[in-house]
């Protein structure tokens, strides 16, 4: 089932998510829905707050990056109760976008290497190191689990330049090819 993607300005995107318990109901269905929602929006990653949940879950599929990095082919994964426990000191700058911030792309510095502990879709524990595109996308999605958005990382001047666009998104004045959830202020 394709779910609406919550837009920048919605308070759920600013919540720090919580680990889920092993008896979390319908986890497989949720993961399927997250992948379907991500693919429908042509995304390579999606975090639970983007569909309105405060659960520590993210999904990625880096297959579209195969032409730049062959090891991204078929890199489809769910990271549950994810915790980044180390970040490399070296940073790389690359342009990013976000399904919750349509039509905005900005250069974002990120660590070139991360070590992450998580559970897979069968709740089996893993402790892995990632670099390159994998480290970048996982850090972007992981930020969502911490209530952080990629525009928080860009410099003050750039941020001023996109402020008007962000305000438009916050007021729900945005066109999107996929289903979105606007935040209506009461």
Interface with Ni ion (CB under 5 A): 98
Phi and psi at 60, nearest 5°, equal: -140, 150
141 is catalytic: yes
CA-wise closest residue to 38 among 71, 4, 70, 72: 4
3-state helix, strand, coil in the chain (%, to 5): 35, 30, 35
**Burial track 142-162 (b if 16+ CB lie within 10 A, e otherwise):** bbbbebbbbbebbeeeeeeeb
State the catalytic residue, choosing from 86, 91, 106, 141. Answer: 141
Nearer Cβ to Ni ion, position 82 or 98?
98
**Comparison of 41 and 98: residue with beta carbon closer to Ni ion:** 98
User: In this complex, which beta carbon is closest to Ni ion, that of residue 31 or of residue 148?
Assistant: 148
Tell me the closest approach of the beta carbon of residue 162 to Ni ion, in angstroms: 15
Beta bridge partners, 106, equal 96
Minimum CB distance to Ni ion, residue 86 (Å): 22
Q: Is residue 102 within 8 Å of 50, Cβ to Cβ?
A: no
CB of 58 to Ni ion, least distance (A): 10
Q: For Ni ion, which residue has the nearest CB?
A: 98
d(CA 97, CA 168): 16
Secondary structure element (H or E) that encloses residue 137, with its range: helix 132-145
Nearer to Ni ion, 80 or 108 (CB): 108
What is the smallest separation between the CB atom of 99 and Ni ion, expressed in angstroms? 6
What does the block give as tokens for 168? Answer: 């438009």
Q: What's the chain's length in residues?
A: 186
Active-site residue set: 141
């Amino acid at each position: 089932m394709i779910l609406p993607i919550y837009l920048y300005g919605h308070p759920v995107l600013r919540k720090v998510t919580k680990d889920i318990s092993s008896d979390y109901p319908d986890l497989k269905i949720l993961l399927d829905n997250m992948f379907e929602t991500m693919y429908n929006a042509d995304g390579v990653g999606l975090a639970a707050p983007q569909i309105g949940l405060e659960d520590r879950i993210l999904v990625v599929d880096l297959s579209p990056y195969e032409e730049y990095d062959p090891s991204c082919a078929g890199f489809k994964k769910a990271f549950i109760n994810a915790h980044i426990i180390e970040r490399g000191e070296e940073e790389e700058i690359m342009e990013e976008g976000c399904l919750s911030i349509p039509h905005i792309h900005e250069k974002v510095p990120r660590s070139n290497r991360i070590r992450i502990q998580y559970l897979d879709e069968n709740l089996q524990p893993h402790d892995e190191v990632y670099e390159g595109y994998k480290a970048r996308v996982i850090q972007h999605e992981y930020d969502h689990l911490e209530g952080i958005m990629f525009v928080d990382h860009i410099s003050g001047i750039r941020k001023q330049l996109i402020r008007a666009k962000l305000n438009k998104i916050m007021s729900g004045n945005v066109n999107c090819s996929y289903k979105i959830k606007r935040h209506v202020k009461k």
